[in-house]
A and B are shown apart, each in its own frame.
Chain A
Amino acid sequence: MSPEVGADGLVDVVRCSPVFALICRFILASLLWGGGSAVAAEARIAVAANFRDTALAIAARLEAESSHRYEVIAGSTGKLASQIINGAPFDVFMAADRRRPQQLVDRGLAASGSQQVYAVGELGLWWPDAPGTPALDALAALESRSVCIANPAFAPYGEAAWEMLRSAGLEALWLKGVVRVDNVNLVAGLIAQGQARAGFVARSSLIAGMRNGTVVAADEEVLWFAEQAPVDQVMVLLARAKMNDAAQHWVQQMQAPPIRELIRRDGYRLSDGQN
């Protein structure tokens, strides 16, 4: 029996099976429908997880003021960078560190000279039932399995948290047991749900969580490391977007006063924008 005959026979299957007919009709409809309604965003903005809500607010504002359309895709900085290296169709990359944007520029995947610090994030130790105010060295009293950080391998806030933990002189064995999660937003969620007792959060994720009601945190429950561990968040225009007006507009607007105000309101400090 040759394959050609097999393929011919399929026509018969399509005819005799109602399920097949249904699927066919469905696919046809989908192609027609999809063709008409595919209003693709003009620019895809890949943002570090902690900046997700702010980026959505910025997108809403820019869309209201212009005809540009934006799509925000959030993930940890390291993961987004590796996706870009593997061909992900993003136009702007808003990282939570300096290193990854620079790597993309070095590889020719981002426009050189387009780097700018768009926000300076703040790392904090959130420990709701701490005895007194949270302190780094007091963490040793907790089981390390109940302490949570973003994964230092690909999340800048995790990297900063790991440095703080290591500098606090905690035992190597204790450090090994610390729970690492996908991104810094998850840390706040896990503590809010009581699944972890303490963890290193971004000020922005706490603010976002409190705004949507999933997190309740009092100020005295958090120890902030504004000076010891400022997190410079750098953005770049990706190479494929050099001719993309929407992406250019996004990059230019980041230093505009109303946008800077949005960023500041969400728990970031601002720099002068120079790299």
Chain B
Amino acid sequence: MSGDLQAVWLTALLAATTTLLLVPIASPLAWWLARSSSPSRSLVEAVVAMPLVLPPTVLGFYLLIMLNPESSIGGLWVQLTGDSLTFSFSGLVIASIIYSLPFMVQPLQAAFRAVPESVLEAAATLGASPRDRWLNVVLPMAKRGYLSGCVLTFAHTVGEFGVVLMMGGNIPGETRVLSIAIYEHVETLNYDAAHMLALGLLCFSFLSLWLVYRYAGHRFEVVRG
């Protein structure tokens, strides 16, 4: 059981780290996507949405190739830290950021788009600086977008399996996240332990979605219509 607690802990740590790192990465990106009329916007939108439709094994495969110690990125990381990026927690964080990117960007993009141009213009004529407009107009209006984005990103990272299987392995305390622990329990016919973890995840997923619907209303979009 202590192994399972460790897996719960590791999963929460991975999901929290991913969520926290994605907020600063996704915010400017979502703002640009919501406001820009550049012709390359749809291209960027498609790239950001890719993890929604891409099989996790494809993503995992490319990450394995890109991050392994013999590749340039993976090799550089080994030189800097002495550790391999594949089969490590750091590698999983990178993978999760890519894998969960649309779950943060899309709710934010929808929230930013809902901020009327006229309100921003009015604020500008009243002398609000761009920074002031962002802090006091956009952010309060996009609060629900942030809530949805964070909850969805967190929950999606908790549910990650295929990517971890491809490039995370099953190392306790490092890459053995909940979904992998469940898989191993089933493989070793340890159904009681599998039941407990699976039920826990089921309740968690329900609660997070309920939180989103309850407090963020219907203002979040996962796949843009």
Q: Is B169 an interface residue (CB 8 A)?
A: yes
Contact of B130 among A1, A20, A34 (CB under 8 A): A1
Asked, given contacts A24-B20, A87-B86, whether A7 binds B172 with beta carbons under 8 Å apart, the answer is: no
Q: Which of B55-77 contact A (CB under 8 A)?
A: 64, 67-69, 74
Query: Residue among B86, B146, B171 with the most chain A CB within 10 A?
Result: B171
Distance, CA A26 to CA B13, complexed state (A):
9
Report how far A89 CA is from B143 CA in the complex, Å: 42
**Interface presence of A75 (CB below 8 A):** yes
Is A7's CB under 8 angstroms from B27's CB? yes
Which residues from 167 to 210 on chain B have a C-beta closer than 8 Å to any C-beta of chain A?
A: 167, 169-174, 184, 187-189
Segment from B46-54, B99-107, B133-141 that makes contact with A: B133-141
Contact B16–A27 (Cβ < 8 Å)? yes
Measured between beta carbons, the chain A residues less than 8 angstroms from B67 are 87
Q: Is B131 an interface residue when CB atoms closer than 8 A count as contact? A: yes
Q: Which of A65-109 contact B (CB under 8 A)?
A: 71, 73-75, 83, 86-89
Separation of A48 and B64 alpha carbons in the complex (Å): 22
Q: Contact between B69 and A23 (Cβ–Cβ < 8 Å)?
A: no
Q: Is the CB of B68 within 8 A of A86?
A: yes
How distant is the Cα of A190 from the Cα of B189 in the complex, in angstroms?
A: 9
In the complex, what residues of A have CB within 8 A of residue B151's CB? 19
Contact of B131 among A8, A26, A27 (CB under 8 A): A8
Q: Which single residue of chain A is at the shortest CB-CB distance from B133?
A: A1
Q: Residues of A contacting B16 with CB < 8 Å?
A: 23, 26-27, 30
**CB-CB nearest in chain A for B173:** A40
State whether the Cβ of B28 lies closer than 8 Å to any Cβ in chain A: yes
Q: Is the CB of A83 within 8 A of B169?
A: yes
Q: Is the CB of A10 within 8 A of B64?
A: no
Task: Output the residue of B83, B134, B151 with the most chain A CB within 10 A.
Answer: B134
Residue B87, interface by CB 8 Å: yes
Task: Identify which of B19, B23, B64, B167 contacts A13 (C-beta below 8 A).
Answer: B23
- Nearest opposing residue in chain B for A79, CB measure: B169
Most buried by B among A9, A26, A40, A183: A9
Shortest Cβ distance from A181 into B: residue: B187
- For A, the interface residue count at a CB cutoff of 8 angstroms equals 44
B187:A5 contact, CB within 8 angstroms: no
Q: Return the chain A residue nearest B26 by Cβ.
A: A6
- Determine if B147 is an interface residue (Cβ-Cβ < 8 Å): yes
- Main secondary structure, interface of A, reads helix
Q: Contact mask B1-42 → A, CB, 8 Å, 1/0? A: 000000001001100110110011001100100010000000
- Residues from 2 to 50 in A contacting B, C-beta threshold 8 Å: 2-3, 5-10, 12-13, 16-17, 19-20, 23-24, 26-27, 30, 34, 38, 40, 44, 49
- C-alpha spacing A14/B167, complex, angstroms: 32
Interchain CA distance A139-B160 in the complex, whole Å: 40
Q: Cα distance A8–B129 when bound, in Å?
A: 13
Contacts of B88 in A (CB 8 A): 89
Residues of the A chain whose Cβ atoms lie less than 8 Å from the Cβ of B146:
13, 17, 20
CB distance from A49 to the nearest CB of B (A): 8
Q: Cβ of B109: which chain A residues have Cβ within 8 Å of it? A: none
Residue B13 contacts which of A34, A44, A192 (CB distance < 8 angstroms)?
Answer: A34
- Asked if B150 CB lies within 8 Å of chain A CBs, one says yes
Cβ of A5: which chain B residues have Cβ within 8 Å of it?
Answer: 130-131, 134
Asked if residues B187 and A182 are in contact (CB atoms below 8 Å), the reply is: yes
**Which chain A residue has the least Cβ–Cβ distance from B172?**
A71
A229 within 8 A of B: no
Given A1-B134, A34-B13, A185-B188, the answer on whether A87 and B85 have CB atoms closer than 8 Å is yes
Residues of B within 8 A of A (CB): 9, 12-13, 16-17, 19-20, 23-24, 27-28, 31, 35, 64, 67-69, 74, 78, 83-88, 130-131, 133-135, 138-140, 143, 146-147, 150-151, 167, 169-174, 184, 187-189
List 7 contacting pairs A-B, 8 Å CB cutoff, sorted by A: A1-B31, A6-B28, A19-B151, A71-B173, A73-B170, A86-B167, A87-B84
